[in-house]
Amino acid sequence: MRISVETLLIVASSGRMLAQAVKNAGLKPLVIDLFADLDTQDYAEDFRQVASLSEQDLAPAVDYFIERYAVTHVIYGSGFEGYLESLGYLDSRLIMLGNHPEVFARQQDKPVFFSTLDRLNIPHPEVVFSAPDCVGDWLRKPMQGQGGVGIKRYHAGDGAAASVYWQKFQAGTLHSALFLADGRQVQVVGFNSQWPVRLSETEEFVFSGVVNSADLSDAHKAAITDWLKQMVAAFALRGLNSLDFIQADECIYVLEINPRPSASMQLYDEDLLHRHIQACGEGALLAQRGKAQLLVGLTGYQVVYAEHDLIIPAHFEWPFWCMDLPKPGNMCRAGQPLCSIIARQKNLQSVVEQLLTRQQLIINKLEGFDRHGIYSQR
């Protein structure tokens, strides 16, 4: 039995990606997020901007959509890592098309997550849960982190906190695997390459971009698929999720699972939204149509971060390949996301080059405005 819905509530720190997917699937998206970006508003039937994803801030917006639209189903996106109680609230009010809050919480409980990997004999960089006193290259990572924010290199004498753990730094190439699950079985949608950006001395591992291409051997892909089968069963994962991992020579190390639709979702066709709904709502994986369909050749997605504080100018003309467009008059601080860009080319090098070129075009275009959003010729 296929689940049938016409209107979906989307709740995320940024709801544009899911709103676009819902709209492309012929459904009506209602959005609650932190930014109310211009393109999010265009895709949404209606939206509400909130100050945070706390239950206190979400409740009035959720009430509004239930009362006005009689919405019954919700899909959540990024941003709930620090608001686990809010997922429980959403689950109490609506039918959740995503991992159950307890499943999501288990991914944030790092002792549980890594002990499960150990039990399954799945390799990962060494982790400890008290400050290491041995010599070595360690990272200090937040327990409930997202997108690499807050990851710092550890130095002896750094203060400890209950909300962090330590992981041995592992050099290598960053990858991810986008996959669908029904709590028992897994379908790998695609393997991706991704990369971080260094925003400051203390923020050098922040997510920057991803492309749907990965230089992995068939043996590595088979091993990762086997690990995913074990992890899906162990954690009861459902719907769209992604696995982050590092390739170092002939070895692969698991970093984490993102138990929600990730940015790499938009590198593939919009059928993923329906497959996510069915996997979550009916506990069934729709039949794959062979290899996942790529949009056009290879596709890359990248976040553009502000190089300095600036106010978004009025009537600023964003190129068509920009997304997550901030409203005019918004203050964007140095190091904060400015917008996102997308590129499609025939090979990996061309995708990366086009992303870099487009990023610089946006930066150069905004350089014509001062920090108050006023144009000034120089």
Tokens 């997308």, residue located: 342
Same domain, 31 and 53: yes
Q: How many CB atoms lie within 10 A of CB 365?
A: 14
Same domain, 29 and 153: no
Domain assignment present for 372: no
Q: Is 178 exposed, middle or buried (0-12, 13-18, 19+ CB in 10 A)?
A: buried
Query: What tens-digit pLDDT sequence spans the chain (378 residues)?
Result: 456 689 999 999 999 999 999 999 999 999 999 999 999 999 999 999 999 999 999 999 999 999 999 999 999 999 999 999 999 999 999 999 999 999 999 999 999 999 999 999 999 999 999 888 776 789 999 988 888 888 888 887 666 677 899 999 999 999 999 999 999 999 999 999 999 999 988 888 999 999 999 999 999 999 999 999 999 999 999 999 999 999 998 899 999 999 999 999 999 976 899 999 999 987 778 776 555 544 457 999 999 999 888 899 888 899 999 999 999 999 999 999 999 999 999 999 999 999 999 999 999 888 765 555 454 444
Same domain, 20 and 117: no
* Residue 282 vs residues 2, 189, 285, 300, 333: alpha-carbon distances, Å: 7, 19, 9, 31, 43
Closest to 112 (Cα-Cα) out of 99, 123, 103: 103
Report the C-alpha gap between 107 and 117 in whole angstroms. Answer: 11
Domain assignment present for 48: yes
Encoding tokens for residue 279?
């996997």
pTM of the model: 0.92
Domain assignment present for 375: no
Question: What CATH number should be reported for the domain holding residue 78?
Answer: 3.40.50.20
Q: Which residues of 223-251 are buried (b: 16+ CB within 10 A; e: fewer)?
A: ebeebbbbbbeebebbbbbbbbbbbeeee
Same domain, 73 and 147: no
Same domain, 238 and 324: no
Q: Are 245 and 253 in contact (CB under 8 A)?
A: yes
How is the beta sheet containing 46-49 ordered, strand by strand?
46-49, 28-33, 7-11, 73-76, 95-96
Quote the number of domains for the chain. 3
Same domain, 71 and 16: yes
Same domain, 233 and 113: yes
Question: What CATH number should be reported for the domain holding residue 158?
Answer: 3.30.470.20
DSSP string of 266-335, one letter each residue: GGB-THHHHHHHHHHHTS-PPPP-SSPPBSSSEEEEEEEEPSS-EEPPTT----TTEESPPPTT-EE-TT
Domain assignment present for 25: yes
Encoding tokens for residue 114?
């890594």
Q: Are 147 and 203 in contact (CB under 8 A)?
A: no
Domain assignment present for 304: yes
Domain end residue (candidates: 47, 71, 97): 97
- Sort strands 127-128 and 164-168 into parallel, antiparallel or unpaired: antiparallel
Residues of the chain above pLDDT 90, percent: 75
Find how far residue 316's CA is from the centre of its chain: 27
Domain end residue (candidates: 252, 281, 310): 281
Domain assignment present for 292: no
Same domain, 118 and 197: yes
Encoding tokens for residue 368?
């014509």
33-37 contacts: CB < 8 A, separation 24 or more? 34/79, 35/324, 35/326, 36/327, 37/324, 37/325, 37/326, 37/327
Closest to 254 (Cα-Cα) out of 119, 106, 122: 122
pLDDT digits (tens, 9 = 90+) for 122-153: 999 999 998 887 767 899 999 888 888 888 88
Same domain, 193 and 86: no
* Residue 200 vs residues 143, 173, 334: alpha-carbon distances, Å: 21, 21, 10
Give residue 333's domain range. 298-366
Domain assignment present for 361: yes
Same domain, 270 and 154: yes
Same domain, 56 and 204: no
Domain assignment present for 45: yes
Same domain, 60 and 141: no
